[in-house]
Amino acid sequence: MLRSPVFKERAALGIFCGLVDFFSEIGRRPALAGVDKIPIRTHVISENDDIVEVVGHYVRDIVRPGDLICVAESVVAITQGRAVLPKDVRPSILANFLCKFPGKDGSLATPPAMQLAIQEVGAPRVVLGSVAAGLGRLIGRKGDFYRIAGRSLALIDDIAGTMPPFDKHVILGPAHPEQVASKIRDVTQTHALIADVNDKGCVDVLACTAPVPAEVIELVLSDNPFGNDDQQTPIVIVRGLLTGEGGPAKG
């Protein structure tokens, strides 16, 4: 089917504008010079492990003064016993109803995950968050559910949301991440960070003992050096960021 010259002209203009936006965004994101990321492979961490001891063991012969130890939030939660099999959850009528609204790709899209969210913050907050989310959609605004129901619910990984063998579990967000990061710093004598990172470039820093701007950490971890599959690298050492050797490159 032949397209009109006007259609072709508009299509070409759309492609051109898209490329301009893409390369402009790259230009706004500074490159990191002198910063190295060292993923550390571990055993399969479980609820029988102490995350502080695990981190101390694996970084002992690698870490240097001025490094930043980054830990994936999911393994912190797993060691706290916050990985739950769906068969161990009894969803309420409310959970069965509300889980229909996030969409099939949402983190609370199954009855067990929604029930755990209700148990985490209480039914009233989840209901209010759901109402706020519905109203927000009418005006094209996103994120109202978590603003009302609580940030902790955004950290819930539904089934298949994490690496094996926990891909059959619902993983809640870690409890007291600030305390965990502080304990890791005290044991290793090195600054520590706990973050939720995915392959889409989203970075949520839950706790950090170092005075580093959030946007810098987001840039460093945006390529997800932890990996979300079977890499088994839930610990990453960032080198050169805190020592003054690394940082955004100046043009």
What structural domains and CATH numbers belong to the chain? 32-81+173-248 (3.30.1330.100), 84-170 (no CATH)
Residue 240 banded pLDDT, cuts 50, 70, 90: very high
Cα separation of 179 and 36, whole Å? 26
pTM, 2 dp:
0.78
Over the stretch 54-80, which tens digit does the pLDDT of each residue have?
999 999 999 999 999 999 999 999 999
Give the pLDDT mean for 95-109.
81
Residue 229 banded pLDDT, cuts 50, 70, 90: low
Predicted confidence (pLDDT) at residue 11 exceeds the cutoff of 90: no
Give the pLDDT mean for 231-235.
85
Outline where the chain has alpha helix (H): 5-28, 51-59, 73-79, 93-98, 111-121, 123-138, 144-149, 177-188, 214-221
Cα separation of 88 and 97, whole Å? 19
Over the stretch 112-171, which tens digit does the pLDDT of each residue have?
999 999 999 999 999 999 999 889 888 888 888 989 998 889 889 887 656 677 878 999
Map tokens 């009855």 to a residue: 111
Residues 103, 107, 111, 117, CA torsion sign: negative
Q: 127 with 102: CB under 8 angstroms?
A: no
Helix (H, G, I), strand (E, B) or coil at 221: helix
Q: What percent of the chain has pLDDT over 90?
A: 57
